[in-house]
Structure formats: C-alpha cells, structure tokens
Structure 1
C-alpha cells in the first residue's frame, strides 16, 4: 500500500529547513567504505549488494523500530497454570530473523564458498545498522558450529539445521524442525567472566547428563538449544542443552528477562536447570577449551557491530547536516561541523577496516592466518568498542535536540553502543587475553609483526609512531599498562590496514590525527587535514 506524503503546510506555519524522509536506503551501494574493505577482505560483493539493498529498505528499518519498541514478553504459565517458560516476540522480530537467516547470516561461512567469514562479517555490519538486537541469536548460531566439531554425533545432528537458511521459531524438538538456532548460557552470579567458578552440576545418566543450577545470563532464551558449562565429575565441561525434547519441554525454567539498557528487541534471561537433559560436548574437564571456539567467533561479530552502529549514527548526522541550515549556511558547509564529522568518520572507517581485515584472517587456512585471527580479533574488539559510544554521542549532538528524541534512531544506537565491549569479554578481559596470547603463542606475535611490516617505509609518520611504540613497550607490559598497550597496538594495526586499502587521503588523515599531530581529547579537536575526502566516504560523494 502506497503512503501519501506528509503535509508541510500546516494551519500555523509551513515546515521548512527539515531534512526529507530517508525512504529506502541501499546500505551497500551508498557506503563506499564497506565496498572497499569487504572486497579487500575477499567477501562476496554480489551477495552483499543484495543483502544491503534488502535490509536497508524503509520496510525493514520500520520493522527494526517496531521490534525495539515492542519488547519481548515472558510468558511463564498458560491460562490453566501449566508451566510454559516461553518468550514471545513482536512479528517484526520474526520478519528480521527470517531475513537474516534466509540471507545466510549464520550459514555462509560454513558453506565452502571463498570469503565466507568476510561476507558474514559484512552482513553483521549491515544488519547492525537496522536492528542490532536481532544479530545476537544469529551470531551465536554462526559461532556455535566450530565448537560442535568436538563431537561428531552432535555436529551431524545440529549443524544441518543451524545452516539451513530457514528460520523456524516453532516450539518443536530439533528433529521436527527445518531450521534451528543455538544460544549460550555460561555465566553465573558468583563468577561472571570467571566461568571456572561456575557451580552448576552435571550428573551422568546413561548416554546423557542431568544439569542442575542457575545461569545469570542466557542470551536468546527461545533458541532451540544452548551451549553451557557445568561441573561434571571430571571438571568444568561443555554441554549442548536442547530446549525441546521428543516428550516435551526440557527442564529449563526462565526466572525473568533482564531489563537492559539497550538491545531491547532481544531477550536475555536468567534461567535455572532443574535436572535438564544435556549432551556432553568434548571431554569432561575441557569445557573452556571447547567453548573458546564459539567465543572466538562471536568476538568477530562484536568487532563488526560497533562499525555498523557508528555508520548508522554518522549516516543520520550527515543526512541532517546536508539538509539543515543555520546562520545562513548548510551545516555540512560549516568548517567546525566538517571537522567534527570527519574526525568521527575516521574512527568509523578505521573500525570497519580492521574488522574486515581480521575477518579475512578467519577465512585463511594457514597457521599464520589462524594465529593473526586470534590476536587481531581481540585488538579490533577492544579499540572499536571503546570508540563507539563517543562517536554515536557526537552524531547525536550534531542533530541537536532532535538527536535526543526517539523519532530518530540515535537514542537506540546510543543505548546499544556500550554492549559489544561488555559482551564476550569486557575491556579488561580482552586486554589480558591479548597479553596471554602473546605470551603463549609466539606465532601470533610474529603474525602481527609481519602485518605491520607490510607498510613500513611508506609513511615516515607511521614509522615514527612504530618506533615510539617499541620504545615504550620493548616487550608486552605488566597488567596495569595493558589498556595503553592494546590501544597503541590496535591503532597502529588500523593505520596499516587503511594504508593498504583505503584512499590515501583517508589513511593519511588517520595517521595525522591518531599517530602524528597533537590533538585534543574531544571529537573535532584536530588540525592539518582536508575533511572533504573523508566526508565523501559518508555519503558516497555528498557533502
């Protein structure tokens, strides 16, 4: 059904100096940055072009807003008092899940085509611009597949359903479903990130186990199953817990849904296992070793999501600035606004570039690529997520009072901005992982050195920043300096990727403002760069 345009001639005034509605957006064709870095990473450009055009339509963006406004509803009992333990979602949530799963969000990396992880990573970036919450269950489904390799039987049972490209939300056992999703339930009240403190118990019973205990965070509680950790006789062990059994519901009780700051379209729950049937994945006592493959892959997505959030926020700010005038000049033509937006755009493109470059390493088959992926994904996750809230806030401020109003996407993006830094290892955990990886895996440090060496000698400012880093950190530092070290290393790595793949003015501006020239602590407190070529990356030439 077509929609008539809104009236701009009202009884008391005429609406002027307001940006036009955005309508359908092609999130691929309108974004030179993602085209550059996805193709450099070996992603499938044709597939991404289709997905970007589809997911950016006004219809899909409206579905994203509906899914966030009409939050999930916990239904513990039916009308007769029988236990249900179900979470119900607005139809818009199911539309978005159907679109993402159907496009191969979770499946593409495992289908054998070249560049599968890079294509997936770019899809995370695109989907995050529309509704970030819906990414959570699809990301965990994608990331569970390498963990399932620890058991051939479970792999054969689950993976065909997880990669089916069919979204099936029905409450049926796995064998009766055409497609499935897999969630995660790891942390407990007393331990948090320290999962070795988990107290949930697992008792062997024939070919399966019975789990008893609580989980403080269960992401996507209506998934068809969960990877979880529990204490078996042989120590902390990983299990697959099906949500539905042939005879009915498994003994999993939802206690409540978390009332979260953001990510509101997605349900996160506290759950309890009351003798729930579970299947061991990997050896007893090898729980952390088994689950780490899932964590490794979810970290790729938490590296890409902040780039998507930044892009969405800056796209709104750029659109506003191009169509709004103040003091007889368009905002986009005012030098201070240009400096601010250009500075923010460098953080966005740097985060995008590094995330896609790391995704390329996930597609690599050699030992060096695997080693770089382990270290690179931690560096990308750390830096991009620390930058994201500031970028989104400044984009909000560019719209003035309208940026603070729920009629725009900025409040949702701002609430979402801190999440990916907290999920799958907060900043301190990631920094300690970086130090641990360098200490335990010499190949990772060698791969990183090789990456940085590819651009040595091309820019004297970059070379000087490298020397300064090595003088400050001749070896990995003690724990108290881990954040300084990680930020410095991630910034150097980002600059090296931009030097290889971004237009020279963009890479040069990043080096000048992040590695070379003095600058202030706030966005736009920079000098010595031409903002025009940087701003072109925001609007495909506009501004």
Structure 2
C-alpha cells in the first residue's frame, strides 16, 4: 500500500536517503599551503642578490597560505570599503571605513617590509627581497597591494625635495601600520598615495587642469581641481600633479595639516570597479588645498616618473603573483578531481594545459625578479642596470600584464564549473587581472614608452641587447629571434609598437630561461613562444614536450 504524505513525513527516513548529499570527487581546500613553494621564485631571489631574505620569504609564504590569511583576503573583498563624507553632526570628514581584515592584511604587509622599508635598508638585494615578498604575500589578495606600492614608490620621488624627504622619508620607510588620520609627524608610520589622472586626460597628464597657486610662504601652494582616479584615499600624504605658474608640477598633499586641521580633500565618491574591490578608489576634489612643492616648478612629470617606474614594476609583480596563485589552485584541483576514470592531473591534455601555464608563470616570475634586481642595482649607481631597467620594465609591464587575463581565464577553466562560482575565489582573481594592464599606463602607453626610450635614450637598446647576448649560442631559436628583433627595431613606428614590444618581451623571457631554468622548461618555451610550435590557446605544446619535468618543477609533490 502506498503511504500518504502525512504517513511518509512521520516515518524515519531510509538511511540511503542522505546519500544524495554526500560530497565526493571534490578537491579539499587548498589552505593551508606554502605560497613560497616556488622553485623559480626562490632561485631568482638568490640569483638577484637577496638570498639572505630566503628564510623570511619562506616564513611569509606559510603565513600567506594559512587559512587565516586566506580568509582575510576573502573577507576584505566581500565587505567592501564604505565612504563616510560627513559625521553625525554634519561635519565633513571624508573618511573610508574598511573591514578589519583589510587592516590585518595591511599591518602584515607593512611589517614585512612590502611598503617603503627597502629604501632604509642598505643590504644588497633589499628591493629584490621586497618584490619576492610581494610575490608570496600577494597570494592573499591584491587590493591592499595598492597603498603599499604607492608608499614604496613615493620615496624616490620625494627625494627631489630634500627638506621634505628629511621629514617624511623615515615615516614612509617605517614598518609600523597605523590607520586613522592624524598629523603625519605624530604617527609612527605613514602611507602615501598619488593623484595624477583627471577625467579629461587620463594618462595624458600634461592636460591636467588642477591649478596650484603660490602662497606667501616659500614652497607652499594651494590647489584647486578634481582628480578622477585616486586610490587608497585614507593614505596620510599624496603626491599630486597640478599646473603651477611655471607649468605642470608635483606637490605633497597631507590629509591632516601640521596644526591638526583637516586639509581640503573632498572624496566625491568611490569607484564601482570591475575588480580590486577591497581597495577604495576615489575622486577627490581640491579647493584651497594646502600643498608643498616637490622638485622644481614645471618638472612635475620628471619628478614623479621615478614613482611610475616603481609602480610599473609592482604591476608586473602582481600579474606574476596572480599567475602563480591561479596555477597552484588549478593544479590542486586537478590532483583531486577525477573524470572519465582518471585524475585530471594524470590526463595528457590537462597536463599539457597545466604545463603550458607553468611555462608562462615561470617566465613571468623570472622576469619580475630580474627587473627587481635591475632596480636594486640602479639605486646603487649601476648605469648599465639603470638603462636596462628603463626599457625592460616598460616591456615587462606591457607583456606580462597583457598575459594575465588569458592566463587566469585558462586556470579558472581547469576547475570547470567549480571555478565559475565565487566560493572558489577564481572569479575574484579573474576580475583582478585586467587592472594591471591599465594601472600605470595601458598597453598602448607602455608600448609607446618603449619607442620613446629607444629614440631618446640609445643606451637602453644597448642594455637590452647586452642582456640578450648573455644567452647567445645557447639556443638557435633564441639567436634567430634576437637577430630578427634587431632588424625590426630599425623600422618600427607607432603602428608596429605592440608587435615590437611583444617580441622584445618573449626574447627577454627566453634568454632568462635559457640561462637559468632547467632544459625542459627553456626548450619548451623557445619552441612554443619563439619557433611558432604553438597554438592560439594554452595547452597546445607539441607532443615531444617534457610535460613531466615541467610540472614536477612547477607543482612539486602537491597532494
């Protein structure tokens, strides 16, 4: 007899009924894991003069991959910053409130020297160590890397005004994070931001309309205008471009003035962005805002260009970090997921995809650390490294950040539908990737900057080819690519700028891998990226590629 609905509800459920809710064939959580378990990163750290930092990087890698730190990253993006323009009494305050997880991330990053600390560290490789730290701590989330990057980059620009640098540099290089607005000189550590772009110009900062009017006090001006994209508005000080009587100039703008009053820094709104949601990006308005001149009037671009060089390196670093993070996530899933009778990781086509991603990731990480090494040696007076850094940073910024979105999309796809849901974290990484090719100059801006360097600073081309020559004779495909690059260099105009810079980047990455990576990695990279033995998507490496060696190096012993 068939029971009635009432009878069925009152009877105990059969033990097999719950089997539909059993979870099988799903990967366990990745955390805890070691974000520094990356041979390319550790080898590059030692090679570029910062081997002394390895223990600290390994410790930071374990912390970055911990359940706690991974949760901080997730919560900081789920609970986005909120703008408070006024207090309860109607006073203008222009403050942004963050979830506690943001402050945990920031406090760790600053304490670990990922902000301005390297400028106060005389050890060779200090800037390399910072970059390596960013490559592992960035496994948590990307948004809080913006204020730490700008703080790092502000120090060399501020040195154009020694009297201001004497006051602020010790605070910008501090390892103490103290949120909240107070008189800068009364805090144990500061963060710096930048305000360059305006709605009518974007990267074309020479069209800025914000004005700077001299006061009766030497070096002190008042600003009036509106900035279009100023991130991290809760920083303590900002470097701002404005039109002074002598032309476009750079200024230091504190949020709180020396007398304790609030400087006029009206945050009109926070941007509703595709990604980078944990980081507040704002539109501030200046109206009789007090500012101090940094460098000579009319030399604003020259003053702030060193800041741009530093933040461009951090764009490269962040893209390489996203690649590594999503590769590790994809490899972890593939090791624990089965389909059609075998683990995904053991299936030839998936191994091809993962190995191809591993090549791209190692090339990005290796070039990032080479650029960091050049920056470190340039700071110490090496003219050849300064010339190499000038062109190679722009090349790396163009190419590696361009590869990021396609890379993260492929890594996401390795998880299938699981990768398309927010809980996996992969959508957040995917939304983050395009920002890095836009921040500090889009692809066109960086490609044109390479042409500008080649035309105005011939020593940059010499430095690039000197670097490439270090691998001469090691791989015929690389030799052919370098010879073709020399020929192309002579006749490239703006129309061909992207094509030229792409070839520069691939030759540079290949030369580094040929010199430093195991043969299977270098051989596969040269065959696919230089010799044309590659398709138009990841996972098209030729059948003769040593996938096992590549994967063992990239994802050693992960279970």
For this structure pair, what is the TM-score category when the shorter chain's length is used for normalisation?
Answer: over 0.9
8 Å Cα contact 1:202-1:209 kept in structure 2: yes
Match of 2:145 in 1: 135
Shift of 1:127: 2.4
2:484 counterpart of 1:462:
no
Match of 2:32 in 1: 24
Match of 1:4 in 2: none
For 1:115 and 1:463, locate their aligned partners in 2 and report how far apart those are by CA, in whole Å: 30
**Candidates 243, 250, 268, aligned match of 1:238:** 250
Residue 352 of structure 1: SS of its match in structure 2?
A: helix
* CA distances 1:244-277 after superposition (whole Å, capped 9, x unpaired): 1123210110000000000000000001001100
Residue 112 of structure 1: SS of its match in structure 2?
A: coil
For 2:513 and 2:78, locate their aligned partners in 1 and report how far apart those are by CA, in whole Å: 37
Match of 1:193 in 2: 203
8 Å Cα contact 1:40-1:501 kept in structure 2: no
8 Å Cα contact 1:343-1:524 kept in structure 2: yes
Shift of 1:384: 0.5
Write out aligned runs for 1:530-541 (5 A). 530-541=546-557
Rg bigger for which structure? Answer: 2
Shift of 1:39: 1.8
Match of 1:60 in 2: 69
Shift of 1:52: 1.4
8 Å Cα contact 2:64-2:139 kept in structure 1: no
8 Å Cα contact 1:435-1:476 kept in structure 2: no
Shift of 1:67: 0.3
**Candidates 224, 230, 253, aligned match of 1:212:** 224
For 2:172 and 2:424, locate their aligned partners in 1 and report how far apart those are by CA, in whole Å: 35
8 Å Cα contact 1:495-1:511 kept in structure 2: yes
**Candidates 496, 499, 502, aligned match of 2:514:** 499
Residue 79 of structure 1: SS of its match in structure 2?
A: coil
8 Å Cα contact 2:81-2:280 kept in structure 1: yes
* CA distances 1:282-336 after superposition (whole Å, capped 9, x unpaired): 0000000001010011111011110100111111110000011000000011111
Shift of 1:467: 2.6
For 1:75 and 1:10, locate their aligned partners in 2 and report how far apart those are by CA, in whole Å: 49
Match of 1:283 in 2: 296
For 2:20 and 2:427, locate their aligned partners in 1 and report how far apart those are by CA, in whole Å: 30
Counterparts in 2 of 1:467 and 1:127: CA distance versus 1, 3 Å: same
**C-alpha RMSD over aligned residues:** 1.3
2:129 counterpart of 1:116:
no
Write out aligned runs for 1:476-495 (5 A). 477-495=492-510
Shift of 1:25: 1.5
For 1:155 and 1:290, locate their aligned partners in 2 and report how far apart those are by CA, in whole Å: 13
Q: Where does structure 1 differ by over 6 angstroms across 4 or more consecutive aligned residues? A: none
8 Å Cα contact 2:65-2:140 kept in structure 1: yes
For 2:343 and 2:285, locate their aligned partners in 1 and report how far apart those are by CA, in whole Å: 56
Match of 1:41 in 2: 48
Shift of 1:22: 2.1
For 2:88 and 2:524, locate their aligned partners in 1 and report how far apart those are by CA, in whole Å: 62
Shift of 1:542: 4.1
Residue 229 of structure 2: SS of its match in structure 1?
A: strand
8 Å Cα contact 2:83-2:96 kept in structure 1: yes
Shift of 1:95: 0.3
Residue 12 of structure 1: SS of its match in structure 2?
A: helix
May I ask how many residue pairs the two structures share in their alignment?
533
Match of 1:228 in 2: 240
Write out aligned runs for 1:522-537 (5 A). 522-527=537-542, 528-537=544-553
Match of 1:125 in 2: 135
8 Å Cα contact 1:512-1:529 kept in structure 2: no
Match of 2:9 in 1: none
Write out aligned runs for 1:7-406 (5 A). 12-28=20-36, 30-43=37-50, 44-110=53-119, 111-205=121-215, 206-207=217-218, 208-245=220-257, 246-364=259-377, 365-406=381-422
Shift of 1:26: 1.4
